[in-house]
Amino acid sequence: MKRVVKLIDENGRRVDGRRPDELRPIRMEAGVLEKSDGSAYIEVGGTRIYAAVFGPREVHPKHLELPDRAVINCRYHMASFSVDERKPLGMTRREIELSKVLREALESVVFVEEFPRMMIDVFVEVIQADGGTRTAGITAASLALADAGIPMADLVAATAVGKVDGIIVLDINEIEDKYGQADMPVAMAPRLGSIVLLQLNGMMTVEEISAGLEMAENAIKTIQQSQIDALRKRYRVEAGGEEL
């Protein structure tokens, strides 16, 4: 089937008018939900996500508990109304997989050894999906963990790079994900210099991957700065002028 969608125009602009190395507008806020210990809301372009953290609390069901460290229970879920065609209720295979990769990304920064026989619940709820939900989900989840006062080595931030019409682009949206050639979500703990999530859907050469990673790393640093700003804004009143 011949593709009719042209993803990059003659001026080198993308479908939403961005340059290849440009992020979508990002907005985030910490402490948005009252009943959780920590929470965050994030908007990346059309993607909207809430994250909530509970704990550390007692493990339920009991048999999951570990004697030497905390268990992180992560649930990534998309609302039925978050996509064009109604998503059936319940966890799909995709959501179960994303819950696992999110959990593993967060486990690598949280000091789980400090809370033996405890559980930390992380809920990521996608309200509106427009590409990059797993990366925005990780960014929101790590902000919610920090808001919940859970000790961690660094804030995790994430974005995706992709290959569209043969060009490496940053932070791909839904259209570019659907019709582009490759999609590579990257999550990093930038101050530790470690990559905590890396997936690739499609084909990229080694050079393209390293170019993409470099692009992602710079963007992740920017995203982390917004996380820090959101956290500082949340506690500005309490800290009373003192810098958090």
Partner 1 sequence: MVPGQLLSDNGKRSGPGTYTLDGKVYAAQAGIPRVVDGVIRVIPVSGRYRPERGDNVIGIVTDIKPNLIEVDLGGEITAVLRLPERETPPLKLTLGDVIMAEVKSSGLRGVFLDPEGLQKIKSGILITINAAKVPRLIGRKGSMIQLLKKETGCDFWVGRNGLVVVSGRTASSEFAAISAINLIEREAHSQGLTERVVQLLKSLKGDEESG
Residues that bind partner 1 (CB under 8 A): 37-38, 55-58, 67, 109, 111, 116-117, 146-155, 189, 191-192, 227-228, 231-232, 235, 237-242, 244
**Following DSSP, what letter does each residue of 102-122 receive, concatenated?**
HHHHHHTTB-GGGSTTEEEEE
The three-class DSSP label of residue 98 is helix
Q: Determine the 3-state secondary structure of 227 from DSSP.
A: helix
Helix (H) or strand (E) holding 231: helix 206-234
Task: Give 101 or 231: the residue with its C-beta nearer to partner 1.
Answer: 231
Give CA–CA dist 77/121, Å, rounded: 13
Considering beta carbons, is residue 135 or 227 the nearer one to partner 1?
Answer: 227
Least Cβ distance, residue 33 to partner 1 (angstroms): 13
Largest CA distance in the chain: 61
**HEC string for 135-185:** HHHHHHHHHHHHHCCCCECCCCEEEEEEEECCEEEECCCHHHHHHCCEEEE
- CA 38 from centre of chain: 16
The nearer residue to partner 1, 60 or 86, going by C-beta atoms, is 60
Least distance from C-beta 185 to partner 1, angstroms?
Answer: 21
CB of 7 to partner 1, least distance (A): 36
CB of 229 to partner 1, least distance (A): 10
Cβ nearer to partner 1, comparing 12 with 241: 241
> Count of alpha carbons within 13 Å of 49, Cβ hemisphere only?
33
Of 42 and 109, CB closest to partner 1: 109
- Specify the residue, 147 or 174, whose C-beta has the smaller distance to partner 1: 147
CB of residue 158 to partner 1, shortest distance in Å:
15
CB 166, min distance to partner 1, A: 36
